[in-house]
Amino acid sequence: MLKGKTILIGISAGIAAYKICELVRMYKRVGANVRVMLTPNALNLVTRLTLESLSQNEVFVENFDIKEYKPEHISLCDEADILVLAPATANTISKIANGICDNLLTSTVCAFNKPIIIAPAMNTNMWNNKFVQENLQKLSDNNYYICNPESGFLACGTEGVGRLCKLETIFDKTIEVLNNNKKLQNKKIVITAGGTLEKIDPVRYISNFSSGKMGVALADVAYHMGADVTLVSTFSIEKPYNVEKVQSTIDMEKEVTKYNNNVDCIIMAAAVADYRVKDYREQKMKKTSDDEIVIQLVKNPDILKKISAEKNTTKIVGFCAESENLLENAKIKIKNKGCDYLIANDISRKDIGFSSDENEVYILDNNLNIEHIEKDSKLNIAHKILEKIFE
């Protein structure tokens, strides 16, 4: 959703400046063009070379650096779709709110007439300062998007409000602001993510290597497209939409079946354990003198197959992870499961799939039409999958 967009990042001199290197990478990973400008003081905290290498673009600090007969702050404004000021210091916030243009960054913000996101970060007392708050309120009242700082351990050694918000919050806000595609408004979507966990005894379990990244990417994108999202996840994660944590396959079955025929779509992106331990031991299993032990497993319910058989109004989407004969197996699987769409991915490849931020998939429908989605970030793949399902 950020592919091809130009994001202009403004870094002012808060110690959180170093975190912005990762934000640059997050935008680059999804195909955005990133330009970076800094206040002269910020250059003491993070180097031009680092930011130039990560953004693959020239980095700007000084005013009066005129290229191609245009002052730099005006060219930067023309090019960018959005300006993200992070970290925003008390000083820079206050200057901006009062129309002061004493360096390239403040001049650019003053001339920028497209969306601006501000992520403040500062010491708690500075954050609580009446004038800083008034200036920030002025910006908020004038349609600047504010990503408020969080509470926590600060670089100055104290605890309190002032820590830069999570980079994901800034990233999500950028998508939200730039993306007017609210195509999934009024749609209710349930997405499963992660690998289910089957307990053996109070300290041991059987699970799989699923990272849950694809499911979370689908949930994030569906949320940005306006959907009412529930993520049924095997791990704890904080999100602006509803997250229901489950552990075992039986837990997941209970949770997911509740939504069948009550929502528009269920996407089963989780890696669900096919078997669970037959006899759960209430007490920790002891090591014995035997060289081998046997743990008996019993079949778990196939949630996808079950909800597909019981579905009436809900679109059901399954995932299929194969290490060989991907498309042949996928064609058999969509018929066997009875779902509307099946997303097939090849887990034998090291560069995509499990734990990776990238994927390459095929989307099969129940008439066995196949669409190939080329290798891309999981967020962009998620976008294409949702576009296809709700075509």
Q: Which is nearer to ligand C5P, 233 or 300 (CB)?
A: 300
Query: To the nearest whole angstrom, how small is the minimum distance from the Cβ of residue 256 to ligand C5P?
Result: 8
Q: Any long-range contacts for 378-383 (C-beta under 8 Å, 24+ apart)?
A: 378/213, 378/214, 378/217, 379/1, 379/30, 379/217, 379/220, 379/221, 380/1, 380/3, 380/30, 380/31, 381/214, 381/217, 382/214, 382/217, 382/218, 382/220, 382/221, 382/222, 383/1, 383/221, 383/225
Q: Which is nearer to ligand C5P, 59 or 320 (CB)?
A: 320
* 35 touches 9 (CB < 8 A): yes
Q: ∠128-46-121 over CA atoms, to 5°?
A: 15
Query: To the nearest whole angstrom, how small is the minimum distance from the Cβ of residue 268 to ligand C5P?
Result: 4
Q: Which is nearer to ligand C5P, 72 or 253 (CB)?
A: 253
Rounded Cα gap, residues 146 and 37, in angstroms:
19
Interface residues with ligand C5P (CB under 6 A) are 192, 249, 268, 270, 272, 274, 300, 302-304, 318-320
Q: 62 to each of 5, 65, 100, 113, 274, how far by Cα in Å?
A: 24, 6, 16, 21, 60
Catalytic residue, chosen from 77, 101, 156, 339, is 156
Confirm whether 165 is a catalytic residue: no
Q: Which is nearer to ligand C5P, 302 or 387 (CB)?
A: 302
- In DSSP terms, 70 is beta-bridged to 67
Query: To the nearest whole angstrom, how small is the minimum distance from the Cβ of residue 223 to ligand C5P?
Result: 20
Query: To the nearest whole angstrom, how small is the minimum distance from the Cβ of residue 307 to ligand C5P?
Result: 8
Query: To the nearest whole angstrom, how small is the minimum distance from the Cβ of residue 299 to ligand C5P?
Result: 8
Q: What's the one-letter identity of residue 45? A: L
> Catalytic positions, please?
156
